């Protein structure tokens, strides 16, 4: 048996930890915040702002609902 190759998305998200990102949820909701953690099921953002300007301390999103993630800084 050979070594399991890590998923590209996992490698990228590890590089993006503690950096500001924008996340599209279900293709119609956008949230920006600091990527704090992720696993195979969820991602966690902190200091979150939605596209209308509403702010929150944290957001927990099922990874299956994420359409894309963009690094901002």
For residue 15, the domain's CATH number is: 2.30.30.100
Domain of 48 in residue numbering reads as: 8-71
pLDDT at 52: 94
Q: Is residue 44 part of a domain?
A: yes
Q: Is residue 2 part of a domain?
A: no
User: CA angle 12-8-40, nearest 5°?
Assistant: 85
- Round to whole Å and give the CA distance between 50 and 14: 23
Q: Is residue 37 part of a domain?
A: yes
User: CA angle 65-9-52, nearest 5°?
Assistant: 40
Q: Is residue 23 part of a domain?
A: yes
Q: Global pTM?
A: 0.88
pLDDT at 6: 72
**One digit per residue, pLDDT tens: the chain, 73 residues?**
557 777 888 999 999 999 999 999 998 999 999 999 999 999 999 999 999 999 999 999 999 999 999 999 8
Q: Is residue 3 part of a domain?
A: no
Phi, psi of 9 (to 5 degrees): -60, -40
């Amino acid at each position: 048996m050979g070594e399991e190759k890590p998923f590209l998305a996992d490698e990228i998200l590890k590089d993006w930890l503690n950096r500001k990102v924008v996340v599209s949820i279900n293709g119609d909701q956008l949230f920006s915040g600091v990527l704090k953690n992720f696993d195979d099921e969820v991602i966690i953002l902190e200091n979150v702002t939605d596209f209308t300007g509403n702010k929150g301390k944290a957001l927990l999103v099922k990874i299956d609902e994420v359409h894309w993630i963009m690094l901002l800084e």
